[in-house]
Amino acid sequence: MIQERTMQDLWAVVEELRQRVEELENGGPPAPVPPDYIASAKSNRKTFHRRGCRFTGRFVNLAGGFQEFESRDTAVAAGLTPCKSCGA
């Protein structure tokens, strides 16, 4: 026999899931937008790139292989120079 407290917990989970399904059916919350600028975290080069630059493939798939920057100004303030290829 399920105790009453356990039943209350189960109904709380069911209600939370119902609200989440309803939220998703209505479009859900907006997906987070990834930062536009990235730089290698393990390289000695001081260059940053736009997301999708052909040179980011070398480090973007490595765990902890890159730093993200919200804006061009924050990357420059960190002492990095823009990539000449992607025009960051």
Output 45 or 81, whichever has higher pLDDT: 81
The verdict on residue 65 lying in a domain is: yes
43 lies in the same domain as 78: yes
Expressed as residue numbers, the domain containing 70 is 37-82
HSE-CB of 50 using CA atoms within 13 angstroms? 8
User: What Cα–Cα distance (Å) separates residue 16 from each residue in 19, 22, 33, 70, 87?
Assistant: 5, 10, 25, 33, 46
Domain total of the chain = 2
50 shares a domain with 20: no
Domain-embedded: residue 19: yes
User: What are the strands of the beta sheet with 66-69, ordered from one edge?
Assistant: 66-69, 37-40, 47-50, 81-82
Q: Which two tokens stand for residue 61?
A: 């798939």
pLDDT for 15 beyond 80: yes
- Do 77 and 44 fall within a single domain? yes
Note the pLDDT tens digit of each residue in 29-67. Answer: 666 666 788 888 777 778 888 888 888 877 766 667 788
In a domain, 88, yes or no: no
pLDDT at 23 over 60: yes
**Same-domain check for residues 8 and 23:** yes
* pTM listed for this prediction: 0.56
